[in-house]
A and B are shown apart, each in its own frame.
Chain A
Amino acid sequence: MKPCLADLPLGQHAQIASIDCERRLSRRLMEMGLLPGTRVRVVRVAPLGDPIELRVRNYSLSLRRAEAAKIAVSPEDTA
């Protein structure tokens, strides 16, 4: 079982493995550039713990944890 984006530690780089959610949302995320193989990083958590902010393809995107939990990632080895 791969870890999901919602569990990724702050600052950790990872690659998206798969997106598994209702079609509208997955299509929207993919069209915004979140595709299998795309590098992402969680850069911030909102003051109240949700949503979280990602850095992907040179821009910042925020997602609720419930949505981020549907995105499986493979963390990159950090040097």
Chain B
Amino acid sequence: MSGSVSVPQVLIAGNPNCGKSTLFNALSGGNAHVGNYPGVTVERTSARVRLGAQDIELVDVPGMYSLTASSPEEQLAVNALTEANTRAVICVVDATTLQRGLYLALQLIESGVSVVVALNMMDSAERLGLHIDTERLTELFGSPVVPVVATKRRGLNDLRAALAEALEPNGGAQRATVTYPAELESNVADLIPVVARWRTETPASQLRVFALWCLLSLGEDSLRGVPDEVRRAVRDIREAAVGQGRNVDLEIISSRYAWLDDVLGQACSEHDPRPSRSERIDRVLTHPVVGLLIFAVVMFGIFEALFAGAEPLISAIESLTGFMQAQAAAILPPGVFQDLVVEGIIAGVGNVIVFAPQILMLFLFIGFLEDSGYLARVAFVIDRVMKGVGLHGKAFVPLLSGFACAVPAVMATRTIERRRDRLVTMLALPLMSCSARLPVYILVVGTVFAGQSLGWFSAGAVALFSMYTLSVLVTLAAAAVIRRTVLPGPAPTFVLEMPPYRWPSAQILWLNAWRRLRVFLVDAGTIILAMTILLWALLSFPKSAVVTEQYAAERVRIEQMASPEAEKAAALRSLDSREAAEQIGHSFGGRFGHAIEPVLRPIGFDWQIGIGIIGAFAAREVFISTLGVVFGIGEADEENTPLRQALRDARHADGTPVMTPLSGVSLMIFFLLACQCMSTIAVVRRESGSWKWPAFLFSYMTVLAYVASLAVYQGGQLLGFG
């Protein structure tokens, strides 16, 4: 790759919570492009920005405390740094936590790239009485240190000017150099020739820092592309050091901090300015009683908003989809093409957009919690509970959101730092009983438990309550099992910064939520649309020509009758419903439903419910409308009396009723545990970066659901229920 022809790339790096994204948005004007780093599931946000006479590509690198890496995700910062067209780095440092932020800046400066340090939140630092001599810092670091307030867009012009200068050839003058212990320097000297054989493109002046990076990063890592020769050399050096009673990690890190302590002693006033406002807020928000209470209220608020607050918008989108379908049906001539447009394409687009309200809401909430600093406290308060099943405190909000819908909840796992912790959460949370399962429960409960009671309670209420309790227990158990089997490794550590409380910017919240939604619409949306069309085809083809002819003849007969128009119309509608029922039986999906009946019979279902389950893959609640078609009722919802009656009247071949309280419970448990949701599959594909994880998710949930339903149904029969 030639760096001279492509647009110069400028990275924005910094600690988490340092205001990096705010600065990125301030510099880019919000016009970001969201893509993916190659090979890892980390999003790459970038924007083309005009700087003086030239264009630059500004890249927002994920927040980090150090360049040290032990996983491919952490490695991407180093990779981005060594890309041929990377010309400079803006290192954003929170002026109120100077040492830790400058530790990263120092590493970047050591690496040889041109660095501009943006000292952010200078206003907060000044309020705390912290005096920072930025000119002295510039001198000592050998890189420009520019005070900014990203939220108020202060200092941006100075920053742009400094950046333009840093992009000039020979921009970096006298750089900061850390003095390391003599033994370490000799280790580095030994390692440089080995590293040079690997990094043939790296300038000789940067090999030293690369050798340091290898010493600190390699060993127990999962980094890609590191030659064995380098690994062996690093291992030998580290082992020899241990023999001498040395700790290489400590030597490198403490030398850097010692250098920083010295520099900061010259350029800053020294004291510990604990933000008093945050202290006061924390006294309330992490209070043993009040804190837990507020926690519960906030979490309930999110839950309520996702569950009930999004409902009108979701209904509106559904009505709009219905309206569009009716319009298309009126315009297009009846036939396969009309069906494709109405039931495939428009329904598919509807299936995608219907998630928008919950995704936007959840990400506005999470953005608010994260940017205000409360999300870290949520994790702090609830970690004790999550730790028991091997989850991180930050898994709580995604799990809770799972009660509303797994799609935004899976997207919300991105607040969890480590990939393994994120995957465990993502793979367990679709077991949370989402709102799309509720209509299925209601239909079943209304069908088999109508008017029955268990002691003081109605049988239906007990059944519903049991489903929700069971879902929580199974989710936590699944997380614990997945953590120990499929994704083994050290338990998640909980090393989490508690940032000072800050008031989030509405514009940034909106921008980020909108970006999340756009990513979903494009990446997961295309998969959902394709699957909707596929499902439509499966349940529509092939059609039986015999049936079509019979019904056409019947239709002609009804139209020629002398009865009143209204009566005729009703007869025609009923005829349409019956034809649809017969045709769906002939379709691939219908045949499949028949074919799997022997498998479904032991868990108490018949082929009609089998077709319903296939249709429910589009979305769980579609189970009901599919059954409406299968039973020849036409459009139906969960409160539909004819559908409930049809279900009660349904008989197996031996004349026994299909729907009994026992098979009803079996059906509810199947829906609770099975991954009957292509959108979940699509979003897990998007967020995990491969088809492997959604395939695993679908398989384990389906097996779990089948086994659980089998145990309930067979066990229940043995005990004399049903």
Docked-complex contact A67 and B493, CB < 8 angstroms: yes
Which one of A31, A44, A58, A63 contacts B272 once the chains associate, using CB atoms below 8 Å? A58
| Contact A64 B493, CB 8 Å, known A55-B272, A59-B97 | yes
Q: Chain A residues near B220 (CB, 8 Å)?
A: 23-24
In the complex, which residues 24-60 of chain A have their Cβ closer than 8 Å to any Cβ of chain B?
24-33, 35-36, 43-44, 46-51, 53, 55, 57-60
Docked-complex contact A22 and B384, CB < 8 angstroms: no
Docked-complex contact B286 and A46, CB < 8 angstroms: yes
> Can you list 23 contacts pairing A with B, beta carbon distance less than 8 Å?
A23-B249, A25-B493, A25-B495, A27-B216, A29-B495, A30-B250, A30-B254, A32-B495, A33-B103, A36-B250, A44-B286, A47-B289, A48-B384, A50-B383, A50-B384, A51-B383, A51-B494, A51-B496, A58-B98, A58-B273, A60-B274, A61-B496, A67-B494
**A15 interface residue, CB < 8 Å from B?**
no
Q: Which residue numbers of A lie inside 8 Å of B, CB to CB?
A: 22-33, 35-36, 43-44, 46-51, 53, 55, 57-64, 67
Docked-complex contact A55 and B493, CB < 8 angstroms: no
CB distance from B48 to the nearest CB of A (A): 33
Which one of B96, B100, B496 contacts A33 once the chains associate, using CB atoms below 8 Å? B100
In the complex, which residues 369-426 of chain B have their Cβ closer than 8 Å to any Cβ of chain A?
376, 380-385, 387, 393
| Contact A27 B253, CB 8 Å, known A46-B380, A50-B387 | yes
| Contact A51 B380, CB 8 Å, known A33-B257, A61-B496, A64-B387 | yes
12 other A-B residue contacts (CB within 8 Å) besides A23-B249, A31-B65: A27-B216, A32-B497, A47-B288, A47-B289, A53-B286, A57-B100, A58-B98, A59-B499, A61-B497, A62-B497, A64-B493, A64-B494
Q: Chain A residues near B253 (CB, 8 Å)?
A: 27, 30-31, 35
Which one of A35, A46, A53 contacts B257 once the chains associate, using CB atoms below 8 Å? A35
Q: Chain A residues near B498 (CB, 8 Å)?
A: 53, 59-62
CA of A61 to CA of B66 in the docked complex: distance in angstroms? 16
CB distance from B248 to the nearest CB of A (A): 10
Cβ-closest chain B residue relative to A67: B493
Which one of A24, A48, A59, A67 contacts B497 once the chains associate, using CB atoms below 8 Å? A59
Docked-complex contact B380 and A53, CB < 8 angstroms: yes
Q: Which residue numbers of B lie inside 8 Å of A, CB to CB?
A: 65-66, 68, 70, 96-100, 103, 216, 219-220, 249-250, 253-254, 257, 272-274, 282, 286-289, 291-292, 376, 380-385, 387, 393, 490, 493-499
CA of A50 to CA of B119 in the docked complex: distance in angstroms? 34
Which one of B65, B70, B383 contacts A46 once the chains associate, using CB atoms below 8 Å? B383
Q: Chain B residues near A25 (CB, 8 Å)?
A: 493, 495
CB distance from B93 to the nearest CB of A (A): 12
Chain A binding site: helix, strand, loop or mixed by DSSP?
mixed
CA of A18 to CA of B220 in the docked complex: distance in angstroms? 21
Closest 4 pairs between A and B when the two form their complex, measured CB to CB = A48-B384, A60-B498, A59-B97, A31-B66
CA of A26 to CA of B219 in the docked complex: distance in angstroms? 14
Most B Cβ at <10 Å: residue of A23, A33, A47, A49 = A47
CB distance from A60 to the nearest CB of B (A): 4
CB distance from A12 to the nearest CB of B (A): 15
Which one of A36, A58, A63 contacts B96 once the chains associate, using CB atoms below 8 Å? A58
CA of A10 to CA of B393 in the docked complex: distance in angstroms? 22
| Contact A49 B497, CB 8 Å, known A26-B249, A28-B65, A30-B250 | no
Q: Chain A residues near B97 (CB, 8 Å)?
A: 57-59
Docked-complex contact A47 and B65, CB < 8 angstroms: no
Q: Chain A residues near B273 (CB, 8 Å)?
A: 58
Q: Chain B residues near A33 (CB, 8 Å)?
A: 99-100, 103, 257
Which one of B274, B289, B381 contacts A55 once the chains associate, using CB atoms below 8 Å? B274
| Contact A27 B68, CB 8 Å, known A58-B97, A61-B496, A64-B383 | yes
Q: Chain A residues near B286 (CB, 8 Å)?
A: 44, 46-47, 53
Q: Chain B residues near A28 (CB, 8 Å)?
A: 65, 493, 495
Docked-complex contact B254 and A48, CB < 8 angstroms: no
Docked-complex contact B381 and A48, CB < 8 angstroms: yes
Q: Chain A residues near B383 (CB, 8 Å)?
A: 46, 50-51, 64
CA of A19 to CA of B97 in the docked complex: distance in angstroms? 22
Which one of A22, A47, A49, A59 contacts B292 once the chains associate, using CB atoms below 8 Å? A47
Cβ-closest chain A residue relative to B376: A62
CA of A48 to CA of B647 in the docked complex: distance in angstroms? 49
CB distance from A54 to the nearest CB of B (A): 9
CB distance from B470 to the nearest CB of A (A): 25
CA of A48 to CA of B380 in the docked complex: distance in angstroms? 9
CB distance from A14 to the nearest CB of B (A): 14
Q: Chain A residues near B289 (CB, 8 Å)?
A: 47
Which one of A36, A43, A61 contacts B254 once the chains associate, using CB atoms below 8 Å? A36
CB distance from A76 to the nearest CB of B (A): 14
